[in-house]
Amino acid sequence: MDRVKKTVCLLLLITSLLATAQASENIVINHVITDRIIQAQDGSLYIGQVLLGFSVGRAKFYTLTQVALEKGLHRGEITIEDPNSKVLAQVKFGDFFAETDNWLHSLVGTWDVEFKEPGTYQIIIYIDKLPKANFYFVVVQ
């Protein structure tokens, strides 16, 4: 391949990479409910057993939510709503800063919730006061 063709190919590659690297909307890329979260010495987070639902009564658990953010200052919040859309619990996270576009950030929630009735509950994840994802789970008798 001659020099001109190599330069054109390289410019096309750079253009396509820049186009895909532009900021995406703040999005939730992963969410899990677990019985424990372990932080390794290098800062990595590991989960215990994944929880898919609960029984009526008090439950203590954790959530790990990973988000991809636009560059800038952000605020997160996670709420749990009962089958009647009443907020049972919420965790508000302090301000956090994304140094670049598509910055990955983890939100760890610690929960102690009283599930009073069976039904379908939901977890709603907010970034900058906007709902970004809903996850449903079932509480049984």
The reported pLDDT for the residue numbered 2 is 57
Count of beta carbons in the 10 Å neighbourhood of residue 48: 12
CA–CA separation, 5 and 29 (whole Å): 38
Owner of token pair 């001659």: 2
Q: Flag whether 7 is in a domain.
A: no
| Helix H or strand E encompassing 120 | strand 119-127
CA 53: distance to chain centroid?
18
Residue 12 binned pLDDT confidence (cut-offs 50, 70, 90): very low
Query: Does the pLDDT of residue 8 top 80, yes or no?
Result: no
Q: Specify if 5 maps to a domain.
A: no
Position 109 in a domain: yes
Whether 37 maps to a domain, the answer reads yes
Query: pLDDT, tens digit, for every residue of 38-90?
Result: 999 998 899 999 999 999 999 999 999 999 999 999 999 999 999 999 999 99
Instruction: Judge residue 85's burial from the number of C-beta atoms within 10 Å of its C-beta, 0-12 exposed, 13-18 middle, 19 or more buried.
Output: exposed
Report if residue 44 sits inside a domain: yes
CATH code of residue 128 = 2.70.50.60
Residue 84 pLDDT: 96
For residue 76, the cross-strand partners are 93, 127
Domain that holds residue 84: 23-140
Question: What value does the mean pLDDT take over residues 1-25?
Answer: 47
Q: Tokens for 76?
A: 């997160």
Per-residue confidence (pLDDT) for residue 10, from 0 to 100: 41
| pLDDT of the residue at 16 | 44
Say which DSSP state 18 is in: H
Separation between Cα atoms, residue 9 and residue 3, nearest integer Å:
10
Which three-class secondary structure state does DSSP give residue 17? helix
Residue 10 located in a structural domain? no
In a domain, 2, yes or no: no
Domains in the chain, number: 1
> What pLDDT is stored for residue 94 in this prediction?
87
Say if 64 falls within a structural domain.
yes
pLDDT, tens digit (0-9, with 9 covering 90-100), for 103-121: 999 999 999 999 999 999 9
Residues 84, 119: Cα–Cα separation, whole Å: 9
Q: What is the pTM of this model?
A: 0.78
Among 61, 59, 28, 27, which Cα is nearest to 47's? 61
